[in-house]
Amino acid sequence: MNTTKTEQWDGLVLGASLATLDGTDGYGEIIDGALGWHDGRLSYVGPRAGLPDDPATLAREVIEADGWITPGLVDCHTHVVFAGDRAREFEQRLQGASYEDIARAGGGILSTVRAVREADEAELLRQSLPRAKALLADGAITLEIKSGYGLDFDNERKMLRVARQVGEILGITVRTTYLAAHALPPEFRDRPDAYIDAVVDWLPLLHAEGLVDAVDAFCEGIGFDPAQTRRVFEAARALGLPVKLHADQLSDLGGAGLVAEFNGLSADHIEYSSDAGIRAMAGSGAVAVLLPGAFHVLRETKLPPLDALREHGVPMAVATDCNPGTAPLLSLRQAMQLACTHFRLTPEQALRGATVHAARALGLQDRGVLRVGMRADFVQWQVGHPAELGYWLGGTLAASRYANGRRVG
């Protein structure tokens, strides 16, 4: 029996069916299920008929529900903390300007950098919190939030502090990622190596303040080259911090292989990753994070190497990439739908990508499936089958959300 019982549980949901995702394939369906939890951990996952006692005596709160319950969604790649917007650039791209054209003209990331630098911490939180609330409302119980729009010590620190506050206010897990190697700030124009010196110097200071859970970089022709990225990764490794990478989005600079070399958590985007890079990821255990929102908004035609990922058994996570320029996407469930539409994932694969594999992409082993002992992060959905989560375009499907056994959102 999938249960633990030493004292009365904190809560018990009865009647909803469960998509446990416990196993290597399939939804792990339990019809007319029951889900119990205590001290933030799942204490029973199974059929309602398998409960050992009168349900009313088992928990302090017993909830009758319908629909389906899944693990809480995990958005493993976001840039939710920012100021301003780039709607005008969206219009420019529709009129023919490329992402690179806009970036080289001083737009793109640098336009958001200016807005972030102009906003104080309170203002940055005021603008960012509604975006995180929107992600939570559609089922995302764990968020990764990157810095990378400050590009100096004080503003990178400000972004990371706001990200921590988002998690505290919403009562959810926020994993912070240091992405100072995102773009070259204007004060370091034509001096990328000097800027990487600064990025490396800031990292231990921010880590000492408890603000950094992982380290990322933008390894690309309009970002930083592999040698510069390697320096950032070596600084992270010296501090015992895991790495991930914006890899091979616009060209193949060997980013996937670099992630594998450093035993990184994930390589993200990877539209141009080579077969050799994918094999290296498979050997290291890195996760491929698919970002169909950016693919959709940029109207890309170069698909990630999906066949190679499947052939070599690389787990595929799905994330929003929520950001002001290339993925103004406020729903992980919508990202799942886009992954089904553009990348031909099945709804079950997309759901696993936003739970099981996304948790792995953050180095979190305590969530992503419904199993006794795992963290009590789950969502009750008003759907007739979990495939609907990758089917509906928009709408409100999440009826209730729980983080660590507490109702949120």
Residue 39 region, left (φ>0) first, then alpha (ψ -120 to 50), else beta? left
- Residue 207 assigned ligand-binding role: no
CA distance 333 to 330: 9
- Residue 77 assigned ligand-binding role: yes
- Residue 321 assigned ligand-binding role: yes
- Residue 249 assigned ligand-binding role: yes
Q: Answer whether 116's CB lies under 8 Å from 146's CB.
A: no
- Residue 99 assigned ligand-binding role: no
- Residue 149 assigned ligand-binding role: yes
Residue that is written with structure tokens 């992600």 in the block: 135
- Residue 269 assigned ligand-binding role: no
Please report which helix (H) or strand (E) contains residue 162, including its range: helix 153-170
CA max distance for the chain: 71
Find the distance separating the first CA and the last CA of the chain, reported in whole Å: 32
Q: Comparing C-alpha atoms, which of 232, 230, 279 is closest to residue 258?
A: 230
- Residue 357 assigned ligand-binding role: no
Rounded to the nearest 10 degrees, what angle do helices 226-238 and 192-208 cross at? Answer: 20
DSSP per position, 196-264: HHHHHHHHHHHHHTT--SEEEEEESTTSB-HHHHHHHHHHHHHTT--BEEEESSSS-SSHHHHHHHTT-
CA distance 268 to 219: 11
Q: In DSSP terms, which residues pair with 289 in a beta bridge?
A: 268, 317
What is the radius of gyration, based on Cα positions, of the chain?
21
Which residues touch 394 (CB under 8 Å, ≥6 apart)?
Answer: 331, 334
Sheet of 316-318, strands arranged across: 73-75, 140-146, 173-181, 214-219, 244-247, 266-269, 287-290, 316-318
- Residue 79 assigned ligand-binding role: yes
- Residue 385 assigned ligand-binding role: no
Q: Answer whether 142's CB lies under 8 Å from 377's CB.
A: yes
SS3 at position 2 = coil
CA distance 65 to 34: 10
- Residue 86 assigned ligand-binding role: yes
Task: List binding-site positions for N-formimidoyl-L-glutamate.
Answer: 149, 323, 325
Task: List binding-site positions.
Answer: 77, 79, 86, 149, 182, 246, 249, 321, 323, 325-326
Task: List binding-site positions for Fe(3+).
Answer: 77, 79, 246, 321
Task: List binding-site positions for Zn(2+).
Answer: 77, 79, 246, 321
Task: List binding-site positions for 4-imidazolone-5-propanoate.
Answer: 86, 149, 182, 249, 326
